[in-house]
Amino acid sequence: MKRNSDKPIKLTEVCLRDGSHVMKHQFTAEQVWKVAKALDEAGMHYIEVSHGDGLGGSTLQYGRSLVDEMKLIETAVEACKLSTVAVLLIPGIGTVHELKKARDLGAGLVRVATHVTEADISAQHIHLARELGMEAFGFLMMAHSAPVDKLVEQARLMESYGAQAVYVTDSAGALLPHEVRERISALRQSLDIEIGFHAHNNLSVAVANTLVAIEEGATRIDGSVRCLGAGAGNTQTEVLLAVLDRLGLDVGIDLYKMQDLAEEIVAPMLPRPQEISKGSLVMGHAGVYSSFLLHAERAAARFGLDSRNILVEIGKRKAVGGQEDMILDVAAELAKTKQEV
């Protein structure tokens, strides 16, 4: 495979953060310990641990965590000899207070996440993370929903605040390979920092999209083992590793250890198998935030609706992360219209 970068590929395993949505934020410290230890032993570069909606996400709006995320971060740091523990922070949900606490517990990287058009709200947290001696990356969510020049403009803002990498984050799993190619290629031509890619597998193209991103020069890549991430999950880490190996790309992570982790530790933890269900498919198709899936299913059960109709309407209204309350409003409206018909 011809790559447009000579920098090494660094993987971030997101199952202990993006997978928190799937687990309804009920991870136990024991589960985090086991998964983090196995990832560290397999040679994973970064392991992200936080509430699914990032630091400070444990609220009624997003779902309360069973165990305080600081305890989970501390547990992961203790379980790791070599891997760096990372955290996600969405400004407004997480604050500088939580960021400092996570750093004090040993988190070495923060990914500051904003909607793709709102990079300006990341300045304070990126600056602070750098001052605290952490690595700081920008994470532009719902990247399918903005034109390429907008994405580039916003990524450049994050770079100007001190971000050392910026991610194209396909939160809805809606991007197609040619759209990933144009986004990564445009960023490569405009930025001096590394480019990352975070996929969701709602349209079954996460691995393919990730390969395109790598070809175009992305060097920071996300995956979730056994697809333990919101919606249909992310790029399945162990599958990506096998594919990269076939392509002759050694990223220094043990494929068999990752397969064993997937099979023996993660699969038994899952509330249901991570597959492309009608719910996750509709999210990729309609361009909806993957983390909205369970909220929409709950609202559908409550109002006697098909969750797909709620998700499609949410997609039309271009809801962004943090607007989970809109799901209930939409469900109530749809139920009212149904009664009137």
Ligand X SMILES: CC[C@H](O)CC(=O)C(=O)O
Q: Please state the residue numbers annotated as binding site.
A: 17-18, 171, 198, 200, 289
Q: Which is nearer to ligand X, 196 or 217 (CB)?
A: 196
Q: Helices 278-286 & 307-316, crossing angle to 10 degrees?
A: 10
For the chain, the residue count is: 341
User: Is 169 one of the binding residues for ligand X (CB under 6 A)?
Assistant: yes
Q: Which does 69 bind (CB under 5 to 8 A by kind): Mn ion, ligand X, none?
A: none
Residue with the two structure tokens 């395109």: 212
The answer to the question of residue 53 lying near ligand X (CB under 6 A) is: yes
Whether the Cβ atoms of residue 198 and residue 209 lie closer than 8 Å to each other: no
Verify binding: residue 274, ligand X, rule CB under 6 A. no
Helix axes 148-161, 177-190, angle to 10 degrees: 40
CB of 320 to ligand X, least distance (A): 9
Subset of residues 204 to 233 that bind ligand X, contact rule: CB under 6 A:
230
Task: Give Cβ neighbours of residue 30 (< 8 Å, ≥ 6 apart).
Answer: none
Out of 113, 187, 211, 228, point to the residue binding ligand X (CB under 6 A): 113
Of 2-21, which residues contact Mn ion (CB under 5 A)? 18
Using CB under 5 A as the binding rule, whether residue 53 contacts Mn ion is answered as: no
Considering beta carbons, is residue 194 or 222 the nearer one to ligand X?
Answer: 222
Question: On the CB side of 5, how many CA atoms lie within 13 Å of its CA?
Answer: 25
Least Cα distance to 283 among 231, 245, 210, 222 occurs for 231
- Is the CB of 141 or the CB of 330 nearer to ligand X? 141
291 binds ligand X (CB under 6 A): yes
Residue 237 binds which entry of ligand X, Mn ion, none, CB below 5-8 Å type-dependent = none
Number of helices (H), then strands (E), belonging to the chain: the values are: 14, 8
What would the two tokens of residue 226 be? 């056994």
321 binds, among Mn ion, ligand X, none (CB under 5 to 8 A by kind): ligand X
Return the closest-CA partner of residue 223 out of 201, 247, 246: 201
Q: Which entry of ligand X, Mn ion, none binds 219, CB below 5 to 8 A by partner kind?
A: none
* Pairing of β 10-13 and β 194-198: unpaired
Task: Give the footprint of Mn ion on residues 67-126 (CB under 5 A).
Answer: none
* Per-residue tokens: 136: 């700081």
Query: Is residue 40 a contact point for Mn ion (CB under 5 A)?
Result: no
- The footprint of ligand X (CB under 6 A) covers 18, 52-53, 113, 141, 169, 171, 198, 230, 290-291, 321
- The footprint of Mn ion (CB under 5 A) covers 18
